[in-house]
Amino acid sequence: MSKQLIGRLMLPLIFVVALSSCGGSSPSVQSYIERLSKSADEPVKGGTVTFGYPSAFQGIFEPAFFEGEDDANVLEFTTEAMFTVDDELSTVPNLATWQESEDHTVFTFTLKPGVRWHNGDELTVEDWKFALETIASPEYTGSRYYSVEMIKGAEAYHQGKAKSITGLKVLDPYTLRVTMNSAQVNLIDNLWAYPMNKRYFEGVAVKDMADSDQVRKRPIGTGPFKITEIVPGERVEMERFNEYYKGSALLDGVTYKTVDSKKMTALLEAGSIDMGAVPRDAYQAVGQLDNVEVMTAPGLSLEYIGFKFGRWDEERGQVVMDNPKFRDKRLRKAMYYALDRQGIIDRFSYGLGTLTETPVPSSSWAKIPDGEIDTYPYLPDKARSLLDEAGYLDQDGDGFREDPGGGKFIIHYDAMSGTKTAEARTEAILQNWRDVGLDVRLNGGSLKELNVFYEAVEEDDPSVELFNGVWGLAIDPDPTGLWRAKDPWNYPRWTSERSEELIREGISLKAYDKDYRKQIYYEWQKLINDEVPMIFFSERSSITAVNKRLQGVTTNAVSSIIDPQSWWIKTND
């Protein structure tokens, strides 16, 4: 799921040499001379780069609380996890290694000694235990309880029935034993892996953490760069953290900036930003710049159009399906068939997107073959037939269908602004539905800014009925976190008993047999494909533009910010 800059002009490569009274060069000049003496292809230290993001960031710089890609990008520079994901999308050790008991329920984690927080504190497993307790707290305001609920005693702690989590035991400052409720094949993939500095948050109630100075104004981590200044919604300044456990970064610092997406190409061409997430409507223009390399990677993100089936019940902590508007799945299927998804991708996204019919990435071993499900091609006549069958008929001859009871039938649609083609693209989508007689209108008459959009969707604004969103997908195919009745990120607010059963079965002890687990996820995808709780629009490719002077950047399906401590600036050709 995603939710970022004003370009900072990089000084041109012109230097004024200032000599000291004793005739020697200044330290900055000496550093530059040393840089010039190195081979052009040999990594050198020094310099800053600017990363541009085309939407204002929220400024929640703590992994336990952030919500979107806007803040996640900063966290990639400043934080480290106990374990991480490699290029093959497998979970591997990072700050910690682990041993697993024979029954797959007890994990003993060993932390690297000598890892430092940006304030100088040494990282211990108490900090990780503190993070796990924070997320399990009854006062926790974020959406990641699913990443700790598998720990023994977490539920009792979450419900306020216990003062500690029985499954967490510190053996020494570098060793934590975690006991799980039961064996689950993807425990390591789902377990929360980011520590929080326990001493730094001392005195801050969990309910106040997301808005605390420790998160909003003076966040710290253990990553290669530390935050020195935050201008809310506009800019984050970061500098090299010299005590980084892998060795200090080559760059002096990184500036993260909000930029106007419509000016992204010009800013890259001018060198005002060195790197950025490129909007699809700028892909072609950016690709023609001589000073920029465009990197594309299959992203773990899914564009979808969600139906609102109900709301989130805060008191019960679960989805309530109380909106009857989209109850008939023939209506949902008709809206699927009515969309010319490939045509829209080709016209407005330069073909950057792959049609998909399920929320499992095409690269996943668990993705069901298209031949075993309905692929919902563009078939407007089939859409009309389904609508007729369901009783949605144009009874007054105005060109739009009434509902089965003869009442006026209007659907309100929400989508995000921020790109040059957003309005035209949205109009094309709406026109597809109008062509089959459905009166679908843009909610409020205009597109919404990203953060406004997600606030309306998350808060179940009654005016939101149909919405065009993007989900970030996990490396593991387990639908937990997005699809269960008790998942806050289940934005469509859809659930079913069979879906819940299959989700549980997919992480059961039997699922250690990968073939069995695959069949469970095939069955779950068939269910979702038939029920159509949302229209899966396409898998999105990530597009990253990098100034050719910036070296060492690589991207994969998970991130475009990989090992930033190894990035460096090439000063001459």
Residue 104 to residue 178: CA distance in whole angstroms: 11
| Cα–Cα nearest to 356, from 347, 367, 366 | 367
Task: Tell me how far the alpha carbon of residue 256 is from its chain's centroid.
Answer: 17
Cβ atoms 495, 482 nearer than 8 A: no
CB 110: neighbour CB atoms within 10 A?
A: 17
Query: Directed axis angle between helix 329-337 and helix 514-531, to 10°?
Result: 90
Element (H, E) at 390: helix 380-390
Query: Directed axis angle between helix 497-505 and helix 514-531, to 10°?
Result: 160
Mean pLDDT of 500-508: 94
pLDDT of residue 80: 96
Binned at pLDDT 50, 70 and 90, residue 176 comes out as very high
Phi/psi at 318 (5° precision):
-160, 170
More confident residue, 23 or 506: 506
More confident residue, 280 or 535: 535
Cβ atoms 220, 65 nearer than 8 A: no
Quick: pLDDT tens for 89-147: 678 999 999 999 999 999 999 999 999 999 999 999 999 999 999 999 999 999 899 89
Cβ atoms 279, 539 nearer than 8 A: no
pLDDT of residue 331: 98
Annotate 350-396 with three-state secondary structure.
Answer: CCCCECCCCCCCCCCCCCCCHHHCCCCCCCHHHHHHHHHHHCCCCCC
Quick: pLDDT tens for 416-446: 998 778 999 999 999 999 999 999 999 999 9
pLDDT of residue 20: 27
Mean pLDDT, rounded, of the chain = 90
Quick: pLDDT tens for 449-485: 988 999 999 999 999 999 999 887 878 889 988 999 9
Report the predicted TM-score, pTM, of the whole model to 2 decimal places. Answer: 0.69
Binned at pLDDT 50, 70 and 90, residue 404 comes out as very high
Quick: pLDDT tens for 289-321: 999 999 987 778 899 999 999 999 999 999 999
In this predicted structure, the answer to whether residue 551 has a pLDDT above a threshold of 50 is yes
Sign of the alpha-carbon torsion through 482, 483, 488, 494:
positive
Side chain identity, residue 108: T
Side chain identity, residue 533: P
pLDDT of residue 261: 85
Binned at pLDDT 50, 70 and 90, residue 573 comes out as low
